[in-house]
Every structure is written in C-alpha cells, then in structure tokens.
Structure 1
Amino acid sequence: MDALSVVGGGIAGLALAAHLDPGRFHVTVHERREGPPPVETSLAMWPEAQLALDALGILPAVRAAGSGFGGMALRDGSGNVFFQAQAPGVIGVSRADLLRLLDAAVPGSVVRAYGPVASLPQSGLVVGADGVHSVVHRAVWGERSRARLSPYLALRGIIDEPVPPGAGGEYWGRGQLFGITPASRGRTYWYASFRSELGPGGIDVDEALAATRARFSSQIAGVDRVLAAATPGETLAQRIWTVPYPGRYARDGAVLVGDAAHGMTPNLGRGACEALIDAVTLADLLNSRPLPEALQAYNRRRLLRSQAMRVASSAMTRLALADRAQPLRDGLLRLAGRCRQSAAVGH
C-alpha cells in the first residue's frame, strides 16, 4: 500500500481523501486545526462541481443542505439593474455544510493529524491542499511561488434574515462592489470588496465593518439593512491573495490541488468548484494509473483549465472594481443590458 500525505483538510483535501482508494493508499490528512470554520460563508456549486460531488456520493445531501441559486441582478452603484444574469442549476451551500459532508465521506482508514506542518513528509506522495499560503507549494516550487497580495479587502458573512425585497444582486460602484444573495435556511449571504490598507494579517473585523459601512452607507436601503444586521462574530474580513502560475502542478514527489495550485480572486465564484474538480480528477487518476502517468495526466487535464479560470477571475476583478474607468464600464454594461433586452423581445 502506497503512503500519501494530504497537507490541508479543507475542501480539496477532504474531497481527495474521500475519493482515494483505501485499498491502494494509506492516507494521512494534516490539518492545522480541528473543527468547522469559525465564520460561515456561502459557496456556489456550478454543474461541473456537482459532477464531482456526485462522484463523491454527496450531491443529494448538498442539494438538501443548500438552496437554488437562480439568477443574479447586476447593478450599478445606485442599485439600477444593468441586466439579470441567469445561473440555472447552480446550488448555493454554506462552506460549513459542505465541509461537514465531505468530512463524513472520508473513510475511517484515513489518519487525521492536527497541528502545523513543520516539514513535509519524506515518504510517499505529498499533496498540497493547504490554500494560497501553501507550505507544500513554497517548499517544493521555491520562494518565488509565494502568494501575492492584492490591494483589495474582502468581507463576507451570513445574516439570519431573508434577502431584503428587491435588493438581491451584485452592486458595482466606483472601485467597490457589494453582493447580496439567498443562503440556505432562508438567510442572506453578503460580501463586499474594495481597496484597503488594512492587514494583510490580523485584520480587526470591527474596523473592517466600520470601513465598509462608511463606504456603502445611505446609498441603497437593502445594503444598509444587511450591513446593519452584520456582526463582527459572523463576518470574515481578509485581504485577497492570489497564487502565481506554477508552470506545472506535479513536481519532485508533490502535487498541488485547489487554492495551493491556482488561488484566485473570488469574483467568478469558482475557487471551491475548481478545488473539487481537482481533487476528484487526481483521485480518479491515482486510483487507476501508475503514479508517474497519473500525475502527468492530472497536469494535462487541470493546468490550463484552472489557470484560465484564475486569469478570467482577475480580469473580472479589474472590471468589477474599476475606478477611473467606472463611467465607461457602466456605459458599456447599460448598452449590453439594452441589447439583451432587445434580443429577448425579438425572440
């Protein structure tokens, strides 16, 4: 039986551990801390990710725990709708629920090891599933692979209230955005992003919330209502980091999955989805092929696709958080909305 160490017990790490053949691999999952994340957030599961969840045997449970995503109104900073974007079949699920279901799918034969990883395991394959600040990525690919800090602060949280009437959607202002979407159990998931000097580490959530309220206060009633209900204990405030292009995902007895491989800005809502696809793809290949062949095939299947998502997400961030180019952006989006409406009427 081959030894395999998964560094990181988040979405990618748990999905991989759940899908590896326990008759072929002796798997150890290393995780910094035990228990669910302290702040609940929501994730969109797109159809490709749902195929991965189905392969893991938990898609029905994710559907039961989540909620339909439907569509999203894209709005300007004053709340006027550019157009309504549809997302049929997308499921919204809380990160805590997804992690709970993935954790339950991991076989009992998998060894759990909690605490920081001081040095990489010396035997067997090592999988870096430890996020944008991956110790595996840095140890094997070198210091030039360190995560890169963006100028943007991101806040996220869930409030125990339904979406305010007519307030759902994403608001693109001048150098700032705010999003409001339904969450499971009739709640509201909200998020905001803008340039900030806070951080990068040890961000005071009270201060970050105060800065967010100051930027968005009195602009839109629904946004005010959401921010009034947000509390520091139920809010996550982080600077956004990204991971540079690594060239390949497998090297010197190590392989990368999820954010450790392609950490991206959150504007496409695809980070968790790509992590799930990485994990199931890699597990399927490791279960069925010799190790060198499996790693080569994983690199071929996932490198270009996931890196394209990373680049597209960065482009979306620049568009959504445009500052001086905001008037031009809004004009183009209004034109696009009118064209969509005309096409719909003509059809």
Structure 2
Amino acid sequence: MKKVDIVGGGIAGLALAGTLDPSQFHVTVHEQRADLPAVGTTLAMWPEAQEALASLGILGAIRENSPLIKGGALRSSAGTPWISVEGQNLVGVARHTLLRFLDSAVPPTVQRRNGKVDAVPGDSYLAVAADGVHSMVRRSVWGQGCAAKLTPYLAVRGVIPEDPGSESIGEYWGRGDLFGIGPSSGGTNWYASFRSGMGPEGIDVGDALDLARRRYSKHATGIQHVLNTATPETSLAQRIWTTPPLWRYSRGNVVLIGDAAHAMAPNLGRGACESLIDAVTLGKLVNTMPLDQALTAYNRQRVLRTQQFRLGSSLMMRVALAESAQPLRDKLLELTARRKSKASPGSKTSQ
C-alpha cells in the first residue's frame, strides 16, 4: 500500500480522498478543523465541476438539495439592469452541503487526523497540499516568495431565510463596490465586496455587517433589505487573498491542488469548481499511472487552465470594483444594454 498524505480536508482534500483507489493507497487526511462547518454561502457548480461530482457519486444528491441557478442580471448600484444573463445549468450548492456530501464519498479506509500540520510529511509516496490560500506546504516547498497576497478588498456574505424576488437576482456594480443576490437552498444567498482596512485577521462579522449597511445605504432597496435582514450567525466576513502565479504544481512527490495552487478572486465563481476538478483529475491520474507520469500529466492538464482563471478573476474584480473608472465603465455598459435592446426581436431595428 502506497502512503498518501493529504494536508487539508476541505473541498479539494475530500474530493481527492474520495477519488484515490483504496486498494492501492493508504490515505490520511490531515485537517486542522475538528468538525465540518454548519453554515456557508452558495457555490455555483459549473458543468465540468458537476462531472467531477458525478464521478464521486454525489451529483444526484447535491442536485436534490440545491437550487438551479437560472440566470439574473448585471445591474447598476440603483438596480437598473444592464445585461441579462441566462442560466447555464448551474447548481447552487451551499458550501457546508457540498462538504457534507464530499465527506460521505470518502472511503472508510481513509484515516482522519485533526490538528495543525507544521511540516510536509516526509515518508509519503505522495504528499498533497490541499491546505488553502495560506498553504504551509506551498511556502515550505516553493518558498516564501509564493506566500498568499492580500488584496485591499473585504468580502462579506451570507444567507437570509427568504426567497429572492426575480426582480432582485443578479450582481450590482457601484463605485468601488459590488453586491450579489441569488437563490440558496436556505433562502437567499448574498455577497458584497468593497475596499476596506478591516482585518486581515480576526474580523468581527457584526462590525463587518454594520460597515456594509453603511456602505450600501444608498444602493438599491433590495440590497438594503438583504443587509437589514442578515445576521452575524449566518454571515461571514474575510479579506480576499490570492496566490501569486505558479507554472508548475508539483515538486518531487509534493503536489498542490485547489486554493493552495491557484487561489483566485471570487468574481468568476470558479474557485471551488476548479478545486474539485483538480482533485478528481489528480486522483484518476495517480490511480492509473506511475507517479512521475501522473504528475506530469496533471501539470499539463491543470496549470494553464487554472492560471487563466486566476488572472481572469483578478481582472474582473478590478472592473467590478472600479472607482475612478466607474463612470466610463457604466456608460459602456449602458451603451451595450441599449444596443442589445434595439437588436432584440420585436424592436424597430429587428423589424
């Protein structure tokens, strides 16, 4: 039995543990957290991520417990729609629900160890860093130059126990801030981002909510209603961190997956999806190839794609949270909306 140590028992770590062949590998998952979280915001599962969930045997259960994301609109801070976005068969799964089903897909032969890991396991056939944006493994093996990078933005998000109205669903772009409203299995999923000096560690969620209420007090009434309904118990607040660019995710027998490899801004909604795909891809390769060939194939399949998403999400964050360029951005979006309206069926232009 080949020894595999997975440092981190979140989305990527559990998905990998559920994919590795228990007849070939003795797998240990090291997780600092003692229990799975009880609350969490909604993650959009794109089709490729749904394929990864299907390979783990849990897609059906997740679909039964999660709403479909049928679309929405990109809006101004006042709520005026600019661009309508049709749904792409996305499933909106709560993070804690996703973790619960991933945990259920882990074979009983996998060993669980709770507690902080301070050093890369040294006697492994394969050591996997699934320990997130602040990955100890990445810093230990790739160097301190690969430490996480702090952005100037705060993310505040949560769930309120009432269904969102169709007229409110979408993402609102203001001057240096954004706000999103969408469906959740528990009601309405919401998220906000804006520049803030809070933190970066030990952020009080109640204080962050109060700051958000003041920040969005002149925005659309739907936003104000969500924030006035939100409570600290069902909300989260944290600064946004990203990883620097990496062009190889393995060194020797150590490999990076998920946020340890490519933590990205949340603006494209791809972070959790790519973590799942990383894990399932790596697991299937390691199950069927010698380790050196498997890691070469993993790098070839995953590095360029995920680094493109990492860069794209950063660029999208800058556009969505534009400050000095916000008037020009809004004019361009308004022009796009007018042109689309004139070209739509039934308009004078189309007739």
Structure 1 length normalisation: TM-score?
0.97
Q: Whole-Å Cα distance in 2 between the matches of residues 195 and 329 of structure 1?
A: 18
Q: Whole-Å Cα distance in 2 between the matches of residues 304 and 342 of structure 1?
A: 39
Corresponding residue for residue 178 of structure 2: 177
Q: How does 1:326-337 map to 2 (within 5 A)?
A: 326-337=326-337
Q: Counterpart amino acid of 1:149?
A: L
- Does the 8 Å contact 1:29/1:111 carry over to 2? yes
Corresponding residue for residue 112 of structure 1: 112
Corresponding residue for residue 60 of structure 1: 60
What's the offset of the Cα at 1:218?
4.0
- Does the 8 Å contact 2:247/2:304 carry over to 1? no
Q: Whole-Å Cα distance in 2 between the matches of residues 342 and 21 of structure 1?
A: 56
What's the offset of the Cα at 1:168?
1.4
- Does the 8 Å contact 1:39/1:236 carry over to 2? no
Corresponding residue for residue 256 of structure 1: 256
- Does the 8 Å contact 2:17/2:110 carry over to 1? yes
Q: How does 1:153-164 map to 2 (within 5 A)?
A: 153-164=154-165
What's the offset of the Cα at 1:320?
0.3
Corresponding residue for residue 212 of structure 1: 212
Corresponding residue for residue 342 of structure 1: 342
Deviations 1:238-280 (A, max 9, x none): 0000001122000032100000000000000100000000001
Corresponding residue for residue 84 of structure 1: 84
Identity of aligned residues (%): 55
Q: Whole-Å Cα distance in 2 between the matches of residues 260 and 344 of structure 1?
A: 44
Q: Whole-Å Cα distance in 1 between the matches of residues 169 and 175 of structure 2?
A: 19
What's the offset of the Cα at 1:76?
0.7
What's the offset of the Cα at 1:234?
1.2
What's the offset of the Cα at 1:207?
1.2
- Structure 1 residues 100, 38: CA separation in 2 closer, same or farther (over 3 Å shift)? closer
- Does the 8 Å contact 2:152/2:195 carry over to 1? yes
Name whichever of 309-318 and 119-128 sits farther off.
119-128
Q: How does 1:298-309 map to 2 (within 5 A)?
A: 298-309=298-309
> Would you say how many aligned residue pairs link Structure 1 and Structure 2?
346
**RMSD value over aligned CA atoms?**
1.2
Q: Whole-Å Cα distance in 1 between the matches of residues 26 and 342 of structure 2?
A: 59
Corresponding residue for residue 21 of structure 2: 21
Q: After the TM superposition, which segments of 4 or more aligned residues of structure 1 sit over 6 Å from their partners?
A: none
Q: Counterpart amino acid of 1:144?
A: G
Corresponding residue for residue 127 of structure 1: 128
Name whichever of 35-44 and 80-89 sits farther off.
35-44
Q: Counterpart amino acid of 2:159?
A: I
Deviations 1:192-218 (A, max 9, x none): 000000000001111111110001114
Q: Whole-Å Cα distance in 2 between the matches of residues 6 and 130 of structure 1?
A: 9
Corresponding residue for residue 225 of structure 2: 225
Structure 2 length normalisation: TM-score?
0.96
